Amino acid sequence: MSSTYGESLKLSIFGQSHGPAVGMTLDGIPAGLPVDFEKLQDFLNRRAPGQHHWSTPRREEDRPEFLAGIVDGYTCGAPIAAVIHNINTRSGDYDNLKDLPRPGHADFTAQIKYGGFQDSAGGGHFSGRLTAPLCIAGGMCKQWLEEMGILIGARIVSIGDVQDESELNPVEPQLDQIRKDFPVISEEAAEQMCRKIDEVRAAGNSIGGMIECCITGLPAGLGEPMFGGVENRIAQIVYGIPAVKSVEFGAGHLSGSMMGSQCNDAYTIVDGQVRTLTNHAGGILGGITNGMPVIFRVAVKPTPSIVKPQQTVSLENQTVYPLVVQGRHDPCIVPRAVPVVEAAAAIAMYDLLLSNTQTTRRK
Amino acid sequence: MSSTYGESLKLSIFGQSHGPAVGMTLDGIPAGLPVDFEKLQDFLNRRAPGQHHWSTPRREEDRPEFLAGIVDGYTCGAPIAAVIHNINTRSGDYDNLKDLPRPGHADFTAQIKYGGFQDSAGGGHFSGRLTAPLCIAGGMCKQWLEEMGILIGARIVSIGDVQDESELNPVEPQLDQIRKDFPVISEEAAEQMCRKIDEVRAAGNSIGGMIECCITGLPAGLGEPMFGGVENRIAQIVYGIPAVKSVEFGAGHLSGSMMGSQCNDAYTIVDGQVRTLTNHAGGILGGITNGMPVIFRVAVKPTPSIVKPQQTVSLENQTVYPLVVQGRHDPCIVPRAVPVVEAAAAIAMYDLLLSNTQTTRRK
Amino acid sequence: MSSTYGESLKLSIFGQSHGPAVGMTLDGIPAGLPVDFEKLQDFLNRRAPGQHHWSTPRREEDRPEFLAGIVDGYTCGAPIAAVIHNINTRSGDYDNLKDLPRPGHADFTAQIKYGGFQDSAGGGHFSGRLTAPLCIAGGMCKQWLEEMGILIGARIVSIGDVQDESELNPVEPQLDQIRKDFPVISEEAAEQMCRKIDEVRAAGNSIGGMIECCITGLPAGLGEPMFGGVENRIAQIVYGIPAVKSVEFGAGHLSGSMMGSQCNDAYTIVDGQVRTLTNHAGGILGGITNGMPVIFRVAVKPTPSIVKPQQTVSLENQTVYPLVVQGRHDPCIVPRAVPVVEAAAAIAMYDLLLSNTQTTRRK
Amino acid sequence: MSSTYGESLKLSIFGQSHGPAVGMTLDGIPAGLPVDFEKLQDFLNRRAPGQHHWSTPRREEDRPEFLAGIVDGYTCGAPIAAVIHNINTRSGDYDNLKDLPRPGHADFTAQIKYGGFQDSAGGGHFSGRLTAPLCIAGGMCKQWLEEMGILIGARIVSIGDVQDESELNPVEPQLDQIRKDFPVISEEAAEQMCRKIDEVRAAGNSIGGMIECCITGLPAGLGEPMFGGVENRIAQIVYGIPAVKSVEFGAGHLSGSMMGSQCNDAYTIVDGQVRTLTNHAGGILGGITNGMPVIFRVAVKPTPSIVKPQQTVSLENQTVYPLVVQGRHDPCIVPRAVPVVEAAAAIAMYDLLLSNTQTTRRK
């Protein structure tokens, strides 16, 4: 498996943070699907660094170059391949990471697994930069889903203890309520969160957050039993986003403190359609969509790279060592992670649609 | 994918609740591994119904019959196959479920996906009964991991609002602190939880809970980047357990409200080994084990089948309909789900060990 | 991989020759497909031993017991599982095979791979008996393909140097030309081949043969480029049939001695359909069906178990040893392999149909 | 599946003949493996066009650019990605292929499958040019196998009716007997074959051939039963090479005319090692290596693009049409296919070594 995902589509992500390029191949996509490159670029820009004053000042051009699979703006049936060349690499910053692993980072685990051969510059293959090719694949899948009336939108639920007080209606979410400038619903939350991030940065610290993702317009019946359910497949890809430590659906971890009479979503009929009055199931029963919005939440841990001194060890000397991480790092990657979560969801759902084995008969 | 799991091992689960048998095949296991059948039966008994007064009174013999793959108590290298025959089936109870889907159940999604051809008796392939073959596979993997010094133990963290006040130490968990009679640490919690379940049953309701699973003795370096990480693979299989709505690692959803200086696990050296002072990462960095215990939590929603009247719809008449679910159902499946979570974790970890691509060289 | 096959469907074969049962699980099949059990039994009987005077006198009842996945004669969407219990096992015959491997058999390779833990009785998991569950899966797929107008038929091309002089027309094969009593076209060939087998048996020897398989009624456009082509997928499954040593398509190995002007199949229009005048491509160009019959040939080596003395070695003593194989063995498995080749082809094609990614648009 | 191959390693091939680039990603390779780029280039040059006077005069620089996965000449554990930019593309030649498909080519099947959206220039994704990235992956695997003492060599057995009279000894093949200038053993065969190709080209025709590939130094015990055997896996990848129509192992299609006493390879002991006196099995019994050389043969059909007039149809007008293929094409791709077969074998064997489940215990 490793950096490869999918049942019917085969996504392969490659690249290291400071290597020549990051990129992806996406195999198994039908021919004849249009790609709107401008819209894709807009989507990639939502993830790109340097868009906000509080984001890392490194300025990278996330302009994908398509090497294969698209002709005259349409998929041609051959595998799609795209790369983003790395133009702003500074390998010198990272020389001591193989000996002095940063707490919370993959430095140590990479050192053990790869025996010192890993590319440690900028986090190598474990860098958040690898979410850029994920967004290329996801941005295209998102467009193809939109063509089918399936929309995906994510928002920040909280950063640290700052909540977005407004909520999406889980039964009928209005995705256009999510702000374009900062992906929350209430303007006040946007301001408070930005202020929070500024404070944290000033303190040489970092902060985590919670993201909610909604998928609307899905038909009922998508997903396979047991290990091929919607939850399994979304969780598998979403845990591929660095820093994600929790993936929950519908009422999620709160389900554990509910009674059946509370948690069960009663059925009703709306305009001839079977609907539920609540959506604690997050649109999924038995791993299969029930036609309600699919809703999941993801916890993003704080960026591990902080200026504040931390304790690490020298692997060579086997001694404890105080560490101050140099370099320019995001104090909070949660806003940039929002489109990445959407991308992951789009890839999982598009793959599900391609591989779905729904019957076409009725008893 | 559907009811198939694994990279190097291939687990396939089959059966319907009221069909002739449930079972599993497990392919890709090396030859020469011993299977202790008595120990396996003890493990299966932890999941079996009717062990507790508050559990469903249906009495099933979860005695696996091995059809293939084991000779004289050792794996022979051929695929392992085992079945449990269903002896206590009462199909008559379930006739109306295709028209009147139970809220919170897979009745509706199965009806849409399978067009009425699904086996609705007892939940069919969506029944919790399918966790029995999962426990056959997982129980064997657990034994093979133990041979390597890798132990897996799970406990109930909470049922409804009743918490186990005692906790496992995330840095050095003592799995034998978990009680054998009821999988919590504190005796008081055991009593309170059982009382809670009794109350809920008396009220014709059901209740959910939270389970924590610890894996100790793992080497550092296990897991592949991005989509093949420990988190991805555990989440993929654990979401195959019916009723699971949340899977989180280490600090989990609480990571979202932490600062980097809090969340990062500082490194230290203990007895010449690199260890962390805390374990918010749940033993996993960049998808790869760091040698600390792997810890994850799972929310189990309340059993959807409750006696309390609920609102459903008649799919045929397209009208709202009051529903009272008949039959004998567990008011709380959380205690029985504990070994199932262990089984899932064991399968995921054994698969990971088989497919791990750690280097044996050092730069 | 091992004993598991398929992209969209997942076939898992299990069992050892003299274990409790052989069987299969088949996952990923849509709900609502009918299974004609009588027709399936007829198909299995074509493979079963003891049908012909020259076949092994062991008499096994190849009656599958379905444990899951089929309700009231229709697939229910859950994985299908079926077993055939082994009732005529005589383990005593095979005790010395771990030390004295039979030439041409998997005895030696199994001993090395499984370190003596393998089930050597009757060939264990390497026995031709494992083709029985393959035929259960394949027999069902064959029925479902027939419903779509896709027919599969195989015939013996030759046994030793005895050829079936009559041939199927590769452009428009009439599958009903294949005889039911003995799968060749000409009656004379049937007689000569049976006589040949009798001679070989009398001589304590065995003999190989060549089988041709035709698939008609396939739409054009099936198959994926490079490694997912029709040839790749058929070859992958057909090489799972014991004793197959060659898989070739269309003109096959003769292509290597042809000129382009001979080998290329010229296009024409027949009844508004694009057809080719010849079919050297075996219905496949670039891995993808062109709408012509798919035709492939398979060489089946002679049964390795022969009464004639052979030279082997004692693995324990590391000395050369003369071997006389005891037991009742088929002098020629080619006739019984014919339905197995059809089964394999049916599984491969049904899987291809499920996973095909043909566009539905036109430029 | 499509353009993706592998169990433990994941190879993904992308690109179209006249697109910006062809390339590959190779995931799942352990860290710390050296790559000798010069040796790799030598290997790629064996496949590159324009090396021989009789080859296509198109001159392409098959210089791979490595984008990821290799640092300082060693694999770093991250997926390897490499591209070869296409510099000599002439799209104008191919405009009419969507309407007038070339006999023997994938033009027609691509048109049906992709509905006109396919990249038809130069054969698009079906071009032999896609074997260049296959050789990048295979060339590296070949180096890593050599490090383990496993050598792979292929030679031309025949072109048309011209045979290489000299043969490799199937029991102890000397791979250095294969000539470097032209991959046959006898000098006379080299001359005759080149002469044959010249004649064929002069006649505006093309010609096929047969290639034999040997793998020496393999341990016994490699390969999984049934569908994961060495034959299955080699066949699956080798059929990904355009123009291959037959894959056979050991005695191959000749097995079908042999008696058991002829075909069975008698065992003996040589220098304390179990060996066979003959090698009709091609080193494989029950899908598993027996420690003898693995030997397989591949038929390569004649290049379909010939100057000689052929009959095709206009898909638009549904009428028969005489076709003369323009452009410069190889009259015989067999010599250039030799390293491609080696590459495919190397990838399959390296994958097998990574995923092998041999026991380390002995009963």
pLDDT tens sequence across C75-106: 999 999 999 999 866 566 566 778 999 999 99
Q: Which residue of C has its CA nearest to B81?
A: C14
pLDDT of residue D87: 80
pLDDT of residue C48: 86
The answer to whether B258 and B280 are in contact (CB under 8 A) is yes
pLDDT of residue C195: 96
Average pLDDT, chain A: 93
Q: Which residue of B has its CA nearest to A108?
A: B290
Of B27, B65, B77, the CB nearest to C118: B77
Give the tokens for residue C186.
Answer: 């000409």
What does the alpha-carbon distance between residue D326 and residue B196 come to, in Å, rounded to a whole number?
A: 83
**Å between B360 CA and nearest CA of chain D:** 8
Q: What is the pLDDT of residues A109-161, one digit of tens each?
A: 999 999 999 998 888 999 999 999 999 999 999 999 999 999 999 999 999 99
Give the tokens for residue B64.
Answer: 């696996």
pLDDT of residue C324: 86
pLDDT of residue D325: 81
Give the tokens for residue D325.
Answer: 């293929």
Q: Give yes or no for residue C1 having a pLDDT over 60.
A: no
Q: What is the pLDDT of residues A260-319, one digit of tens each?
A: 999 999 999 999 999 999 999 999 999 999 999 999 999 999 999 999 999 999 999 999
Interchain proximity B104–A281, CB inside 8 Å: yes
Sign of the CA dihedral D245, D248, D254, D258?
Answer: negative
Sequence-separated (6 or more) residues with CB below 8 Å from residue C134: C13, C24, C240, C241, C340, C343, C344, C347
- Residues linked to residue D31 through DSSP beta bridges, in sequence order: none
What does the alpha-carbon distance between residue D219 and residue D213 come to, in Å, rounded to a whole number?
A: 17
pLDDT of residue B61: 65
Q: What is the pLDDT of residues A185-201, one digit of tens each?
A: 999 999 999 999 999 99
Q: Which residue of B has its CA nearest to A225?
A: B2
Q: Which chains, if any, share at least 3 CB pairs under 8 A with chain C?
A: A, B, D
Q: With left for phi above 0 and alpha for psi between -120 and 50, is residue D66 left, alpha or beta? A: beta
What does the alpha-carbon distance between residue A132 and residue D315 come to, in Å, rounded to a whole number?
A: 42
Length of chain A: 363
Per-residue pLDDT of chain B (363 residues; tens, 9 = 90+): 578 999 999 999 999 999 999 999 999 999 999 999 999 999 999 998 766 655 555 555 689 999 999 999 999 999 999 999 998 665 665 667 789 999 999 999 999 999 999 998 888 999 999 999 999 999 999 999 999 999 999 999 999 999 999 999 999 999 999 999 999 999 999 999 999 999 999 999 999 999 999 999 999 999 999 999 999 999 999 999 999 999 999 999 999 999 999 999 999 999 999 999 999 999 999 999 999 999 999 999 999 999 999 999 999 999 999 998 877 778 999 999 999 999 999 999 999 999 999 998 888
Of C68, C83, C117, the CB nearest to B32: C117
Q: Give yes or no for residue D75 having a pLDDT over 70.
A: yes
What does the alpha-carbon distance between residue A24 and residue D12 come to, in Å, rounded to a whole number?
A: 10
Q: Which residue of A has its CA nearest to C78?
A: A225
Question: Tell me, what DSSP letter sits at residue C283?
Answer: T
Give the tokens for residue D135.
Answer: 């050789």
Angle, CA D184 vertex, CA D285 and CA D242 arms, to 5°: 65
Angle, CA B123 vertex, CA B121 and CA B125 arms, to 5°: 105
pLDDT of residue B97: 75
CA dihedral defined by B73, B75, B80, B84, rounded to 10 degrees?
A: 20
Q: Which residue of C has its CA nearest to D271?
A: C318
Q: Give yes or no for residue D265 having a pLDDT over 70.
A: yes
Of C4, C28, C66, the CB nearest to B27: C4
Please give the span between the terminal C-alpha atoms of chain B, in angstroms, as a whole number: 39
Q: Give yes or no for residue C232 having a pLDDT over 80.
A: yes
Q: Where are the alpha helices (DSSP H) in chain A?
A: 37-47, 107-114, 131-147, 187-202, 230-238, 260-263, 334-355
Q: What is the pLDDT of residues B161-213, one digit of tens each?
A: 999 999 999 999 999 999 999 999 999 999 999 999 999 999 999 999 999 99
Q: Give yes or no for residue D91 having a pLDDT over 70.
A: no
The answer to whether B156 and B335 are in contact (CB under 8 A) is yes
The answer to whether A321 and A314 are in contact (CB under 8 A) is yes
Would the pTM count as exceeding 0.90? yes
Q: What is the pLDDT of residues C315-346, one digit of tens each?
A: 999 999 999 887 777 899 999 999 999 999 99
Q: Give yes or no for residue A73 having a pLDDT over 80.
A: yes
Please give the span between the terminal C-alpha atoms of chain C, in angstroms, as a whole number: 39
What does the alpha-carbon distance between residue D193 and residue D185 come to, in Å, rounded to a whole number?
A: 12
**Å between B107 CA and nearest CA of chain C:** 13
How many CB pairs (< 8 A) connect A and D? 163
Q: Which chains, if any, share at least 3 CB pairs under 8 A with chain D?
A: A, B, C
What does the alpha-carbon distance between residue D197 and residue D55 come to, in Å, rounded to a whole number?
A: 9
**Å between C139 CA and nearest CA of chain A:** 20
**Å between D147 CA and nearest CA of chain B:** 14
What does the alpha-carbon distance between residue A213 and residue A220 come to, in Å, rounded to a whole number?
A: 18
Question: Tell me, what DSSP letter sits at residue D228?
Answer: G
State whether residue D242 is helix, strand or coil.
coil
Interchain proximity B239–A253, CB inside 8 Å: no
pLDDT of residue B63: 93
* Phi, psi (deg, nearest 5) at residue C189: -60, -40
Give the tokens for residue D258.
Answer: 């042999």
Q: Give yes or no for residue D297 having a pLDDT over 90.
A: yes
* Phi, psi (deg, nearest 5) at residue D324: -120, 115
What does the alpha-carbon distance between residue B4 and residue B356 come to, in Å, rounded to a whole number?
A: 20
SS (H, E, C) chain B: CCCEECCCCEEEEEECCCCCEEEEEEECCCCCCECCHHHHHHHHHHHCCCCCCCCCCCCCCCCCEEEECEECCEECCCCEEEEEECCCCCHHHHHHHHCCCCCCCCHHHHHHHHCCCCCCHHHHHHCHHHHHHHHHHHHHHHHHHHHCCCEEEEEEEEECCEECCCCCCCCCCCHHHCCCCCCCCCHHHHHHHHHHHHHHHHCCCCECEEEEEEEECCCCCCCCCHHHCHHHHHHHHHCCCCCEEEEEECCHHHHHHCEHHHHCCCEEEECCEEEECCCCCCCEECCEECCCCEEEEEEECCCCCCCCCEEEEECCCCEEEEECCCCCCCCCCHHHHHHHHHHHHHHHHHHHHHHCCCCCCCC
**Å between C41 CA and nearest CA of chain D:** 23
Q: What is the pLDDT of residues D131-154, one digit of tens each?
A: 999 999 999 999 999 999 999 999
Sequence-separated (6 or more) residues with CB below 8 Å from residue D277: C311, D171, D265, D266, D267, D268
Cα dist from C292 to C149, C171, D319, whole Å: 14, 7, 18
Q: What is the pLDDT of residues D51-73, one digit of tens each?
A: 665 555 555 568 999 999 999 99
What does the alpha-carbon distance between residue D196 and residue B86 come to, in Å, rounded to a whole number?
A: 70
In the block, tokens 């479902």 appear at C144
What does the alpha-carbon distance between residue B186 and residue D194 come to, in Å, rounded to a whole number?
A: 84
Q: What is the pLDDT of residues D333-359, one digit of tens each?
A: 999 999 999 999 999 999 999 999 999
Of A13, A20, A115, the CB nearest to D67: A20
Q: What is the pLDDT of residues A21-56, one digit of tens each?
A: 999 999 999 999 999 999 999 999 999 876 565 555
* Phi, psi (deg, nearest 5) at residue D232: -60, -45
Give the tokens for residue C173.
Answer: 């094969």
- Residues linked to residue A90 through DSSP beta bridges, in sequence order: none
Residues in chain C within 8 Å Cβ distance of A355: 8, 355
Residue burial D165-200, b: 16+ Cβ < 10 Å; e: rest: eeebebbebeeeebbeebbbbeeebbebbbebbeeb
pLDDT of residue B70: 97
Residues in chain B within 8 Å Cβ distance of D68: none
Average pLDDT, chain C: 93
Biggest distance spanned by C-alpha atoms of chain B: 71
Exposed, middle or buried, A202 (CB in 10 Å: 0-12/13-18/19+)?
exposed
SS (H, E, C) C111-170: HHHHCCCCCCHHHHHHCHHHHHHHHHHHHHHHHHHHHCCCEEEEEEEEECCEECCCCCCC
Question: Tell me, what DSSP letter sits at residue A97?
Answer: G
The answer to whether D86 and D20 are in contact (CB under 8 A) is yes
pLDDT of residue B29: 97
